[in-house]
């Protein structure tokens, strides 16, 4: 897999981790009889922030890999 493909894979992982936080909060609060924004925000705090941190890290790694691949492509075409 080249660097661009690896970057896209890391960005897909970041999207999955970002959505996993909201999906797990919705599953966690599935037994609640009435929904409102404050309750969902409380469910999000129960899930915690490691999914946010790991999604941001994966996104930055993905962007770095894509930039690295583009730089190497530009460098090889320049010569």
Cβ atoms 40, 29 nearer than 8 A:
yes
Cβ atoms 11, 60 nearer than 8 A:
no
> Mean pLDDT, the chain, as a whole number?
90
What would the pLDDT profile of 15-47 be if each residue is shown by its tens digit? 999 999 999 988 888 888 787 878 888 888 888
Cα-to-chain-centroid distance, residue 47: 15
- Distance separating alpha carbons of residues 2 and 13, to the nearest angstrom: 17
Please give the share of the chain, as a percent, with pLDDT higher than 90: 53
């Amino acid at each position: 897999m080249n660097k661009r493909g690896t970057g896209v894979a890391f960005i897909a992982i970041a999207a999955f981790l970002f959505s996993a936080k909201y999906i797990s909060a919705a599953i966690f609060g599935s037994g609640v009889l009435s929904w409102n924004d404050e309750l969902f925000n409380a469910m999000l705090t129960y899930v915690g922030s490691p999914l946010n941190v790991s999604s941001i890290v994966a996104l930055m790694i993905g962007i770095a890999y894509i930039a690295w691949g583009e730089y190497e492509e530009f460098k090889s075409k320049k010569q």
